[in-house]
Every structure is written in structure tokens, then in C-alpha cells.
Amino acid sequence: MFVQPVDYFLAVWFVLAALSTAYVAWDQFRNNPEPVVMKWGFILVTLYMGPLGLLIYVLADKEPRPGEHEAFTKPLWKQGVGSTIHCVAGDATGIILAAAITAALGLPMWIDLIVEYVAGFAFGLFIFQSLFMKSMMGGTYWENVRKSFMPEFISMNFMMAGMAPVMSFLMMGSDMRAMEPTELLFWGVMSFGVIVGFITAYPANVWMVVRGLKHGLMTEREPEFDKAREGRREHAHGGAEAGVARHRHAHARLDEHANPGHGGPGGNPGAGGHYGSGHGSSHGNGGGGSRGPHGGHGMEPDATVPQLAAFGGVSVLALALGMIAPANWVNLTLSARDVGGAIMPPGMIMDRDTPAAAMLDMAAVHPRLITASHGLEVRGDRELQARMENGVKVFDLETSVIRWAILPDVKVDAYAINGQVPGPRLHIRQGDRVRINVTNRLPESTTLHWHGLILPNEMDGPAEITQEPIPPGGSYVYEFTAGQSGTYFYHSHDHVDRQQALGLYGALIIDPANPQDEIAADHDYVIQLQEWLMREGLTFPSMPMDGGQPNYFTINGRAYPSTDTIRMKVGETLKVRFIGTNNGFIHPMHIHGGPFEVVARDGETIPESARFLADTVNVGPGQRYDVVWQARRPGKWLIHCHIGHHTTNNNVEEKGGGGLTVVIDVQP
């Protein structure tokens, strides 16, 4: 599923990689005079590196015209490419296979890196080098293992020194879908890691080619081709004598250049093939030399023991740095199973001590979890009618993940109750016996807490304290008698900072048993406050921390100018029930057009002698204020938060405001 812009890029990248690989495979087996093992080396590397692999193949190895492969591949930089290709093809195959398996097994990242190194080294040494090259190298399998060990060790160390930091930082970065083999991003990180590994391994491979420790590119032709080539040359220049002269001239030109396979006195200038010594080449020219199907590709290395020790030591140091250094910045004790493909909010500070639980709570709602999408025509806070069962008022609530419109062109991914944000309003009377059946359709456990109510402890809702959390697909029954009256609300009490911030709350209005105790008004309006964090098309739970600051704000699930307009006439009164369903901020809620009277706080009616006038009340998370405002004069009067940022939409005002703003339209 395409979740981020990078997913579209990766889809295009892998299509190009497939096309590039198909072309290299076709050209190698149809046109390019090269040993089969090198053909497969370029095919695998192009599969892993995409168009870059194709570019390397065309620039360094693809025979430009028939008969020119030997001369074309002779330069040292191309011989270094061939040596690196052979290393990367085998090692990367082992690394990628190990990465997929360790991720599926849920192994920690630090173990993952070790297993990848061992698998890459083993596959490169025992399979791709010693086994696949045996017929070309000559000698026994274990002789080839011995000869290949040191060059493979050095090359693999430098390659993994480049790949390990890439995998550590990108897999444990902001988008940890990169740890899931089922995601495109995982394979994208693997591809990028191979590219970086190729770059870091290339200089060492050039040095080993020069010192005769490794071969580079090769040319493998049938004997009949050489005879036909000589005949074509003689014919093209008017006779056999002219043809021989040109042939000799060509060899003389090749010998003018430094011989990549020739390491000094005693070195064998035979064409490149693999590590160590073997049978002699049929041609004595440099790295582009050709051989028949039965010849060997051998050379005598001339690197000294101190040189090998120094180079090997530096490779080990580079490997240790690449494997261990990332642990200073990312938590390598985590696995794909721990973080579950979480996507972190931009700007969140994550370090080596950040636990998986924190990452999961801060993560974006994954779009593939969404079960429904609603536009502005669907409202939240719809009153839910109870059904009666033996004198008990029964409500059915179900949690789910939905896409919810807060503005005409802005939708958030939300945790909803009964498919709405806020959840349905429960309106009961003091003394009612109520039963609330809660079914959980979220990807994680949840509970519901009845904020401010006096009820049996096992009905209170805190997860793992008064009840076991409701697992995904599970249910729980809350039952109690409402002994209080006033303005209350319910909300999640499991992963509260995540679930309540994503919309898991609703109003609970309890009328007094004696209607005379109700503070009357001409209009009654509930305001449930909420903050949202939406970045790069994803919704994250907003929190007062780095990376968690909100950029959208809603009243009853809508941001101004999509909030309600309250219509009144001069002289009428309005009871506003402010409910702090929001999770992390205090909102100084202000009404224009004159002061209001504060008549209740946190569900408790204030005695008439203690009521007071105000034009602003600070509504904190969990707090409730009932205020009565009178329409004194006609016009459009605002209810809004007095923090300017909270009356914008993504920092922008629309039609005079945004966010936590409601208009009271008073007619004469």
C-alpha cells in the first residue's frame, strides 16, 4: 500500500530495476563474451542496484563492438569494478536473505547485523566464490576456499562497513516499515545499502586487483571465435600479412598500459577471474584477456604480509565502526516485531534509549487499518438512543479506525467510537441503571473510563489496574447506576496519550433526577475540544513534546470554518458545556459579546451565591465548565480559544480564523 511519497518512487525504482536486470541478462547471455559466473554477477548486482547497476555494466563491461571486450575492459578502474561486482553479487545475496529471515523471526537489530554479516561472508566465500568459480580456478574446492578467504574477508568487511549504518539508521529511523520484508521500503533500504556497500568496497578491490589478490573482468570466447576474428582482420586489410601486423599492433598497444593483473616481478599477467592462483590464461594481455572454455584464470599475488595485515586490520576497524557506531543514536535492541512498521512523526527525537512502546504510541495511524471514510456530511457527537432490557438502559459501543473530515479538504485518520468523532453522546438521567457493551475493533487493546463518576471500582476502566484491557476483537461490559448529574465524558484509559488524542472520547450528559435542579437555558451546546497532528499525509497523536505538537484543532470533530453556527435571537440564553476531551493543552475559551456566568464545574453545580461572571475560562484536559451566556445584541459573536495558534489550520487562518472557533449568529 502506498503510504508515503517514497513508496511511489520505490515502485518506479523497482520497475526500472526489473527492466534493467532483464536487459543485462539478455545482453550478457546473447552478446557479452564473459564467464557465466560474471554474467550472473552483473545480473544480481543490477537487480540490487537498479539503473545504477545497468550504468556500471554499460560503462565498464558491455562489449561495445564485436571483438573489443578484451581492450574495452582493460583499464584498472574497470577491473576494480569487475572485482567489486563479484564480491557484491555473492555477499549482498547472503545479506539480503539473512535480513528477510531475521526480520521475520523478530530478532533484534544488533543480532540482525551480525547474522547478515556471517551469512553474506559465508555465501560469498563458500558458494559464489569457491563453488561457482571452481571450474574456472582449477584445484580443489577447499584449495579455493583457502585462497579466497583473505580477499573475501577484506572485501566483505568494507562492504558491510557501508551497508550496516545505512540499514541501522534507515530501518530504525522515522519510517520503520523499512524493517518489514513485506514493505517496499525494506527492499528500498536493501537496494540503497548495496549501493553504499559497493562504493565502500570498491577502493579495496582496486588495490587487490593491482596486487594480484583478485581478478577483475574477464573475456571467455570459444576457440573458433579467435580464428574467425583473425580471418576477418586479414580480409579487412587486404590479406593475411596485413591482418597479422594489425593483430600484433593491437597487443603492443595493450601492453603499453599498466597491467591490472600484474603485481610485479613474478606476477602472472593473466586475465582476471578470481582470487589466488590457478591455471594459466590463454592470452597474456591485461584484465580483458580471453580464455577458452578449458583454460584457467590464475595469478600469483605479490602483496606482502604487512600489507595484508594492515589492510585487513583497517577493514576490521571500518566494519566495527559501521556495525557499532549507530548504537550511539538508535536503539539496536529493537526488532521488526517490536516496532510493527511504525512511522514516527517528523521531528520526534528518538535515541538509543527510546523504547518500542513509546514509538508505537507516537506512531502514525497506518492507512491500511482504516475501515471507513466519512466526509463533512457525517457528524460526531450524535446522541445514541438506549434500548431497555429489564429496566436497564443498554448502549452498544464499538471502536474502529476511520478517516474523518475536519475540513473540506482535510481528513485525519482517527480512532472512532461507532464510526464518529467525537463518539456518540450518551444522555441519561440520574438514577438510571446503564449497561454499556464495548467491542474493540482497534489494532491494539483499549478500555473506557467514565470520567468523574462514582461507580464500582471494576467499572472504572483503567487498564491492568481495575480490569484487563479489551484485546482487539474482544469486548467488555460496563454496568453501573448513575448517582450524579451534570456534564461528564468517557474516554480511553489504555494507551491514553495515543487513543484519546486520536479521537476515542465522547460526551456523557446526566440530567438531574429532579428537573427543577437543572439550570435552564434556551439553547444547550456541548463543546468537546481536540488537538490533531497531521504531517505528510499521516495522522499522529498530538502531544506536548518534540515532534508531537499539534497543527489542527477541532470542536466536536470539526475545525473552523467547518464548525457549527449557533443561531439565536436577542435576549435568549445559551448554555455552553465546555469539555476538556483534549489530551495535552489548556485552552482559554472565550466568548465575545459580553461575559457569561459560570454555573457548574466538573459536573458539580455551583451554588447560586458562588457563581461568577467571566469572559474566559481555562479548560484543561479532563475539566468541564458549564457557562450561561446571554445574547445581548445582534451580530456574529465568537466562541474561541484565546491562544492564537489554536485558531488556525496548519498555521493558516481561513475566513477570519480556524481551529477552535464557533460562531454565534444572533438575530434581532
Q: Is 511 exposed, middle or buried (0-12, 13-18, 19+ CB in 10 A)?
A: middle
Range 31-47 average pLDDT: 92
Q: Is 145 exposed, middle or buried (0-12, 13-18, 19+ CB in 10 A)?
A: middle
Q: What is the pLDDT of the chain when averaged over all its residues?
A: 88
Question: Poorest-confidence range of 203-217, 369-383, 473-487, 646-660?
Answer: 203-217
pLDDT beyond 80 at 263? no
Q: What is the pLDDT of residue 399?
A: 98
pLDDT digits 0-9 by tens, 588-640: 999 999 999 999 999 999 999 999 999 999 999 999 999 999 999 999 999 99
Handedness of CA 274, 277, 278, 284 (dihedral sign): positive
Q: What is the pLDDT of residue 129?
A: 73
Instruction: Give the residue carrying C-alpha cell 461528564.
Output: 488
List of residues 6+ apart from 409 with CB closer than 8 A = none
Contact 25, 61 (CB under 8 A): no
Residue 570: φ, ψ to 5°: -55, 135
pLDDT beyond 80 at 234? no
pLDDT beyond 80 at 47? yes
CB atoms under 10 Å from CB of 149, counted, come to 16
Q: What is the pLDDT of residue 577?
A: 98
- Third-level CATH fold of 373-667: Immunoglobulin-like (2.60.40)
pLDDT beyond 90 at 238? no
What is the pLDDT confidence band of residue 388, given thresholds at 50, 70 and 90? very high
* % of the chain at pLDDT higher than 70: 87
Cα separation, 447 vs 112, in Å, equals 36
pLDDT digits 0-9 by tens, 84-96: 998 899 999 999 9
pLDDT beyond 70 at 283? no
Q: Looking at this protein, which amino acid is placed at residue 84?
A: T
The SS3 call for residue 486 is strand
List of residues 6+ apart from 65 with CB closer than 8 A = none
pLDDT digits 0-9 by tens, 478-523: 999 999 999 999 999 999 999 999 999 999 999 999 999 999 999 9
Using CA atoms, how far residue 356 sits from 108, 169, 488, 541, in Å, is 12, 15, 34, 16
Q: What is the pLDDT of residue 243?
A: 38
Torsion on CA atoms 438, 441, 445, 446, rounded to nearest 10: -40
Q: Which helix H or strand E contains 300, and what residues bound it?
A: none
DSSP-derived secondary structure letter, 56: H
Cα separation, 322 vs 165, in Å, equals 5
Range 357-386 average pLDDT: 95
Handedness of CA 424, 448, 531, 8 (dihedral sign): negative
List of residues 6+ apart from 406 with CB closer than 8 A = 412, 532, 552, 554, 557, 558, 559, 562
What is the pLDDT confidence band of residue 230, given thresholds at 50, 70 and 90? low
The SS3 call for residue 448 is strand
**Rg (Cα) of the chain, in Å, rounded?**
36
Q: Which helix H or strand E contains 216, and what residues bound it?
A: none
Q: In this structure, what C-alpha cell is assigned to residue 591?
A: 466568548
Q: Which helix H or strand E contains 470, and what residues bound it?
A: none
Question: Number of helices and strands (H, E) in the chain?
Answer: 15, 25
Cα separation, 267 vs 278, in Å, equals 13
Contact 299, 277 (CB under 8 A): yes
Higher pLDDT, 234 or 620: 620
**Please, what's the b/e burial string for 177-195 (b: 16 or more CB within 10 A of its CB; e: otherwise)?**
bbbbeebbbbbbbbbbbbb
Range 372-393 average pLDDT: 97
pLDDT beyond 70 at 383? yes
Q: In this structure, what C-alpha cell is assigned to residue 42?
A: 552483473
**E strands, 356-503, in order:** 372-374, 387-389, 392-407, 410-417, 423-429, 433-440, 448-451, 475-481, 486-492
For β-strands 661-667 and 635-641, DSSP reports them as antiparallel
Contact 120, 91 (CB under 8 A): yes
Range 258-280 average pLDDT: 35
pLDDT digits 0-9 by tens, 111-133: 999 999 999 999 888 877 766 66
Q: Mutual orientation of helices 240-256 and 223-236 as an angle, nearest 10°?
A: 110
Q: What is the pLDDT of residue 223?
A: 64
Q: In this structure, what C-alpha cell is assigned to residue 115?
A: 547474522
pLDDT digits 0-9 by tens, 310-349: 999 999 999 999 999 999 999 999 999 999 889 999 888 8
DSSP-derived secondary structure letter, 62: S
Range 155-159 average pLDDT: 95
- Half-sphere exposure at residue 116, Cβ-oriented, CA atoms within 13 angstroms: 30
Q: What is the pLDDT of residue 138?
A: 61
Using CA atoms, how far residue 112 sits from 100, 167, 190, in Å, is 9, 10, 13
Closest by CA to 442, choosing from 378, 379, 360, 381, is: 360
Handedness of CA 553, 555, 558, 559 (dihedral sign): negative
Range 432-446 average pLDDT: 97
Cα separation, 572 vs 586, in Å, equals 29
Q: In this structure, what C-alpha cell is assigned to residue 431?
A: 438514577
pLDDT beyond 90 at 198? yes
pLDDT beyond 60 at 108? yes
What is the pLDDT confidence band of residue 424, given thresholds at 50, 70 and 90? very high
List of residues 6+ apart from 52 with CB closer than 8 A = 195
Q: What is the pLDDT of residue 587?
A: 98
Cα separation, 24 vs 55, in Å, equals 10
Contact 233, 247 (CB under 8 A): yes
Ordered by start, the domain boundaries in the chain are: 222-291, 373-667
- Half-sphere exposure at residue 138, Cβ-oriented, CA atoms within 13 angstroms: 14
Q: What is the pLDDT of residue 136?
A: 63
Chain centroid to CA 503: 24
What is the pLDDT confidence band of residue 213, given thresholds at 50, 70 and 90? confident
Range 176-192 average pLDDT: 94
For β-strands 523-535 and 433-440, DSSP reports them as unpaired
pLDDT beyond 70 at 466? yes
Range 451-459 average pLDDT: 97
Q: Is 242 exposed, middle or buried (0-12, 13-18, 19+ CB in 10 A)?
A: middle
What is the pLDDT confidence band of residue 249, given thresholds at 50, 70 and 90? very low
Max CA pair span of the chain = 124
